């Protein structure tokens, strides 16, 4: 196993996740099998409200970057290691008597548990080959020097010590600010000094900056940080984060990694090498900057002031726009501003954006706040033939809107919004414990079966006319089965259901350019080179190119189940 450790210094949010993912992508282009581990020093057992994995774990957002860049991999909950997990493991061992009554300490007991976990998780197969990976990218969250990360730094130092020199490589990501036009190297010097004093010796520096560094700046960093100039990568701001791998490739990152890790001695078959080369060529063609006409998407949500709440949604839209060769113009609209109780000026401005958009997207969420605005947006899209995509809560509000205005159940709502309402067309899933919040959702990968008579479905065509799709879920509420027939008879088609045929997973209007709702979260399986099908159809319909996109998806599909990673 080859380990590549990515640490960060100077400031948080310096871009470790993108650099780790980009490094992994370049290694995959060589035909290597790559996996990734994210270490988060927080006390939580999991990320709680972030990103679900196939196995139902909730993990850090950086895990999404790994999966989006490292085409064809699907990580597990174990690939996100937290302080809480490690301490719980050590305490459980102590309670069982595994330490034979000895005093349990950070060193060696906690550090050993960390090291053992990294070595075990690194070997878990993550792609369709089912084989053990060749390289594991390990990203240490936070900034080196933080008190929370000290046990992990010590454990990683020990891992480097017990690992052959040619099997461990350390990348330190630092920030080089420019003050009054002068590029300052001192923060990076101090950051490298800190990480070296902790026992981690950087083999390569990734210098984040606004603009390319001057030759004299690079030389100064190399001299004072005791690396060669070729070991200083300049990672300046790019038009798109998807262009960072190309930037690193132009600076010959692979030529630095190959001799240091003896990558050319790792056995690879010709098929994997060929796929790597093809994948890299497609990546460079897909992410290149374009001057295409924009496609305007109105994202109507309740958390629009915190854009990271919809990070996976935005990434899926970006992947789809790139596939459609269009520039994404994303309009953030607070759903509360679409309600009649909103300030008049804000109300008019928000509705002007909705009405001028090429497509309307209502993503997931929880709670009653802002949902009347979402319902109003769904109604506008339905009545004005504007492409619409509803995700989880977005599908549920579209069902409520249809029930109210087409089926004439004027007081139709969700049990989440009004537990005493007469027409609860959306209900709490019966198996969920209503008394708890944490860990009570339907999570992870579940199959959805297209129903007989759905051959006309645009979404089914986008999936390649398969019978079953497999996508990740994260929800507590669902469409009330008691109202399904009434809604279906009025024209709201529930085309996808769960294994038992009881849970509504996909809804679609037939005589509409694109009006689709899904109970699952397809954004979690979207990839740069394999855009999520519901999002791709939505963006393509909004851009006026849905026909060719559907035709391509049908022609290229060779598998019976979509949504799962491919080799």
Enumerate the active-site residues. 392, 521, 523
| Residue that finishes a domain, picked among 286, 313, 345 | 286
With a CB cutoff of 8 Å and minimum separation 6, the contacts of 360 are 297, 298, 300, 354, 377, 378, 380, 381, 386, 387, 388, 389
Q: Does residue 566 sit within a domain?
A: no
Kindly state the greatest CA–CA separation across the chain.
75
Same-domain check for residues 281 and 396: no
Q: Does residue 101 sit within a domain?
A: yes
Residue in 57, 469, 18 with CA at minimum distance from that of residue 233? 18
pTM of the model: 0.85
Digit-by-digit pLDDT tens for the chain (567 residues) are: 999 999 998 888 888 999 999 999 999 999 999 999 999 888 888 765 555 666 666 676 778 888 889 888 989 889 999 999 999 999 999 999 999 989 999 999 999 999 999 999 999 999 988 999 999 999 998 888 888 889 999 999 999 999 999 999 999 999 999 998 899 999 999 999 999 998 899 999 999 999 999 999 999 999 999 999 999 999 999 989 999 999 999 999 999 999 999 999 999 989 999 999 999 999 999 988 777 789 999 999 988 887 878 888 999 999 999 999 999 999 999 999 999 999 999 999 999 999 999 999 999 888 889 899 999 999 999 999 999 999 999 999 999 999 999 999 989 999 888 878 889 998 887 776 666 655 567 777 888 999 999 999 999 999 999 999 988 888 778 889 999 999 999 999 999 998 888 889 999 999 999 999 999 999 988 899 999 999 999 999 999 999 999 998 888 764 434 444 333
**DSSP H or E run through 87:** helix 83-96
Tens-digit pLDDT profile for residues 437-488: 555 677 778 889 999 999 999 999 999 999 999 888 887 788 899 999 999 9
| Residue that finishes a domain, picked among 233, 265, 286 | 286
Q: Does residue 567 sit within a domain?
A: no
Q: How far apart are CA 475 and CA 359, in angstroms?
A: 24
- DSSP single-letter state for residue 447: E
Tens-digit pLDDT profile for residues 347-367: 999 999 999 999 999 998 888
Helix (H, G, I), strand (E, B) or coil at 27: helix
CA dihedral 139, 306, 505, 438 (to 10 degrees): 70
Helix (H, G, I), strand (E, B) or coil at 468: strand
What are the φ/ψ torsions at residue 71 (nearest 5 degrees)? -50, 130
Q: How far apart are CA 101 and CA 113, in angstroms?
A: 17
| Residue that finishes a domain, picked among 259, 286, 313 | 286
Token readout for 453 is 């008579």
Other CB atoms within 10 Å distance of the CB of residue 312: 27
**CATH number of the domain encompassing residue 316:** 3.40.50.880
**CATH number of the domain encompassing residue 38:** 3.40.50.300
CA distances from 399 to 386, 418, 486, 525, 553 (A): 17, 16, 12, 24, 28
Same-domain check for residues 174 and 275: yes
Q: How far apart are CA 171 and CA 256, in angstroms?
A: 11
Q: Does residue 390 sit within a domain?
A: yes
Same-domain check for residues 209 and 332: no
Q: What is the DSSP string of 251-316?
A: TTHHHHHHHHHTGGGS---HHHHHHHHHHHHHHHHHHS---PPEEEEEEEES-TTSGGGGHHHHHH
Containing domain of residue 555, as a range?
295-559
Token readout for 47 is 């990320």
**Radius of gyration of the chain from its Cα atoms, rounded to whole angstroms:** 25
Q: How far apart are CA 435 and CA 446, in angstroms?
A: 24
Same-domain check for residues 328 and 274: no
Query: Are the CB atoms for 206 and 174 separated by under 8 Å?
Result: yes
Same-domain check for residues 155 and 73: yes
What are the φ/ψ torsions at residue 477 (nearest 5 degrees)? -115, 160
């Amino acid at each position: 196993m080859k380990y590549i450790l990515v640490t960060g210094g100077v400031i948080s949010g310096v871009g470790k996740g993108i650099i780790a993912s980009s490094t992994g992508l370049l290694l995959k282009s060589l035909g290597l099998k790559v996996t990734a581990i994210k270490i988060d020093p927080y006390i939580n057992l999991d990320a709680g409200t972030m990103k679900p994995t196939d196995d139902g774990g909730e993990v850090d957002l950086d895990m999404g970057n790994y999966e989006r860049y490292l085409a064809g991999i699907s990580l597990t909950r174990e690939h996100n290691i937290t302080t809480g997990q490690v301490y719980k493991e050590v305490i459980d061992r102590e309670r069982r008597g595994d330490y034979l009554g000895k005093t349990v300490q950070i060193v060696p007991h906690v550090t050993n548990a960390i090291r053992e976990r990294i070595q075990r998780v690194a070997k878990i197969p993550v792609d369709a080959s089912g084989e053990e990976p060749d390289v594991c990218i390990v990203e240490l969250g936070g900034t080196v020097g933080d008190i929370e990360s000290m046990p992990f730094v010590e454990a990683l130092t020990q891992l480097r010590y017990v690992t052959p020199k040619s099997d461990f490589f350390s990348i330190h990501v630092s920030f080089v600010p420019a003050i009054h036009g002068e590029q300052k190297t001192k923060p990076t010097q101090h950051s490298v000094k800190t990480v070296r004093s902790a026992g981690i010796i950087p083999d390569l520096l990734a210098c984040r900056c606004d603009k390319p560094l001057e030759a004299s700046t690079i030389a100064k960093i190399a001299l004072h940080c005791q690396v060669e100039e070729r070991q200083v990568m300049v990672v300046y701001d790019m038009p798109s984060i998807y262009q960072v791998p190309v930037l690193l490739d132009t600076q010959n990152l692979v030529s630095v990694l190959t001799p240091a890790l003896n990558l050319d001695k790792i056995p690879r078959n010709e098929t994997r090498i060929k796929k790597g080369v093809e994948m890299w060529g497609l990546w460079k063609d897909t992410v290149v900057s374009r001057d295409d006409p924009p496609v305007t998407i109105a994202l109507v949500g309740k958390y629009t002031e915190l854009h990271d709440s919809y990070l996976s949604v935005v990434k899926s839209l970006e992947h789809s726009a790139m596939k459609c060769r269009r520039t994404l113009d994303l309009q953030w609209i607070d759903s509360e501003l679409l309600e009649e109780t909103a300030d008049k000026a804000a109300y008019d401005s928000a509705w002007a954006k909705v009405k001028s958009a090429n497509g309307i997207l209502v993503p997931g969420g929880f709670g009653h706040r802002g949902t009347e605005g979402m319902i109003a947006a769904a109604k506008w899209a339905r009545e004005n033939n504007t492409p619409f995509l509803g995700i989880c809560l977005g599908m549920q509000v579209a069902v409520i809107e249809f029930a109210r205005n087409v089926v004439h159940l004027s007081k139709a709502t969700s049990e989440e919004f009004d537990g005493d309402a007469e027409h609860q067309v959306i209900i709490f899933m019966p198996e969920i414990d209503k008394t708890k919040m944490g860990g009570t959702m339907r999570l992870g990968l579940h199959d959805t079966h297209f129903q007989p008579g759905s051959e006309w479905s645009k979404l089914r065509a986008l999936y390649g006319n398969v019978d079953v799709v497999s996508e990740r879920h994260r929800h507590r509420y669902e469409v009330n089965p008691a109202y399904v027939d009434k809604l279906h008879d009025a024209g709201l088609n529930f085309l996808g259901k769960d294994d038992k045929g009881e849970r509504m997973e996909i809804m679609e209007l037939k005589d509409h350019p694109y009006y689709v709702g899904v109970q699952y979260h397809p954004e979690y399986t979207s990839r740069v080179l394999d855009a999520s099908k519901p999002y791709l159809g939505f963006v393509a319909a909004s851009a006026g190119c849905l026909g060719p996109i559907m035709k391509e998806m049908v022609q290229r599909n060779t598998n019976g189940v979509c949504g799962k990673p491919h080799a």
